[in-house]
Structure 1
Amino acid sequence: RWDSPMFTILPESTPAFEDIFGALYLRKPPPPNQSTQNQPLAPTNFLYELDRTTQDVVSCIMSAQKTQVDGDSIKVPNTTELVSLGRKVSLADLTRARRQYITYTKMHPVEDTARLTTLFVQYLNSTLG
């Protein structure tokens, strides 16, 4: 916590310098958490790749839904994962899911941009399937 340890120093008292020194310099540091960890560095073109990859998957799904029967799995380029939605999905639903995925992935970037397609397909299967 931010107030631990807390030392109260009154004008008429003598500060406990040894205790303060020990609390600041001799104590074991707290374990790292999300607020103190650095975000992994993403490649400079990460957002472009993320946007392009997700848009390609959405376009592929929309064009495949025109010719396939409801419930068929859809093969997407650049991944072995199949999109299994079980029903026809509207462009609005896909766009909403795409936006949510992009927001999440911006906060938690992937080191290997080649996996973006696979991860997006898995996300679609879990949220829309």
Structure 2
Amino acid sequence: MPLITVSGLPSSGKTTRALQLKAGLERKIAEVNSDLTVYLINDESLSISKETYRELHSEKATRGAQISAVKRHLGKNTIVIFDNLSYIKGFRYQLFCEAKALSTNACLVHVGAPKDMCVAWNKSRPEGEAWPEDLFDALVFRYEEPNPMSRWDSPLFPIAHEDTEADIPIDEIWDTLVLRKPKPPNAATVLKPVTAGNYLTELDKITTSVVNEIIDLHKTSPGGLVKLDAYDPVVQLPMRLTVASLNRIRRNFVTINKMKPIEVSRIRPHFIEFAIKNLSADM
């Protein structure tokens, strides 16, 4: 089901508006007796630190985690609200393409507030929750304001800082996302199925890479809580671990998934879960 991307300057009130959107849509769902649910995704729910926006490498990993979360929750019975800066038009285009590839509608909600008001609101936030001043200025400078003439920024619903919760156009958003028939995906947005040969190559390459990462982490943190990558879940390594046991688990996983292929994007998280579960069972 549909995707709502919330965009705006840092400390412009995006999360407040996202929560109001969620509440308004849930009231609409109850009113029409629909079985839809509304799911809110933001950096807090993904445990993403503001500091990840300082460096290109860490921000790239952050965007990967955000896109993965959106794709994971977009479903036929779910409206996803993605509450984020979404300050780069290329990132908004990527979100637009993800929705279109699933033949579902999408819209953009732009939370508008003057920079000086955002500065004041940021300074009033509790210690540890405010954006550092230099990072705040950098993000404001890089912000690419939505353009309703661009198809990835349309339909665009602006919400001004002086608007009340009652001013949010819930009925219009509902009509756009739920009642309007979605356009068919373009050839460019349709996910191409992998061939059998490519799938087996990816299956082998990804599982081997995970095995090597686990071995390297175990050398420095046996029995510790670790993250294999920026957007992998936290896992606990066993105290004792051998290369032979890991390779045996990898071969079992490959054998199972040769017979019943899964999406390439799901191989890594599924194998991590499979490996840790089986390592724990062996101890």
Shorter-chain TM band: 0.5 to 0.7
Q: Comparing both chains, which one has the higher relative contact order based on Cα–Cα distances under 8 Å and sequence gaps of 6 or more?
A: 1
Q: Which runs of 5+ in 1 are unaligned?
A: 1-41
Structure 2 residue 283 is matched with structure 1 residue 115: no
Structure 2 residue 232 is matched with structure 1 residue 80: yes
In the alignment, which residue of structure 1 is the partner of 2:275?
A: 124
In the alignment, which residue of structure 2 is the partner of 1:22?
A: none
2:227 aligned partner, one-letter code: K
* Partner SS state of residue 74, structure 1: strand
In 1, the alpha carbon distance for the partners of 2:239 and 2:248 equals 17
In 2, the alpha carbon distance for the partners of 1:89 and 1:50 equals 22
Is the alpha carbon distance of 1:79 and 1:55 closer, same or farther for their aligned partners in structure 2, counting shifts above 3 Å?
farther
Structure 2 residue 217 is matched with structure 1 residue 64: yes
In the alignment, which residue of structure 2 is the partner of 1:101?
A: 253
In 1, the alpha carbon distance for the partners of 2:235 and 2:211 equals 11
Structure 2 residue 201 is matched with structure 1 residue 48: yes
Are the counterparts in 2 of residues 83 and 124 from structure 1 also a CA contact under 8 Å? no
Is the alpha carbon distance of 1:125 and 1:109 closer, same or farther for their aligned partners in structure 2, counting shifts above 3 Å?
same
In 2, the alpha carbon distance for the partners of 1:74 and 1:113 equals 23
In 1, the alpha carbon distance for the partners of 2:275 and 2:194 equals 24
In 1, the alpha carbon distance for the partners of 2:269 and 2:236 equals 13
- The TM-score normalised by the length of structure 2 is 0.29
Matches within 5 A, 1:24-43: 43=194
Give the strand-richer structure, 1 or 2: 2
- The TM-score normalised by the length of structure 1 is 0.60
* Structure 1 stretches of 4+ moved >6 Å: none
How many residue pairs match? The answer is: 86
Is the alpha carbon distance of 1:101 and 1:50 closer, same or farther for their aligned partners in structure 2, counting shifts above 3 Å?
same
* Partner SS state of residue 86, structure 1: coil
* Partner SS state of residue 43, structure 1: coil
In 1, the alpha carbon distance for the partners of 2:256 and 2:230 equals 21
1:106 aligned partner, one-letter code: K
Q: What is the root-mean-square deviation of aligned Cα atoms in Å?
A: 1.7
Are the counterparts in 2 of residues 50 and 116 from structure 1 also a CA contact under 8 Å? yes
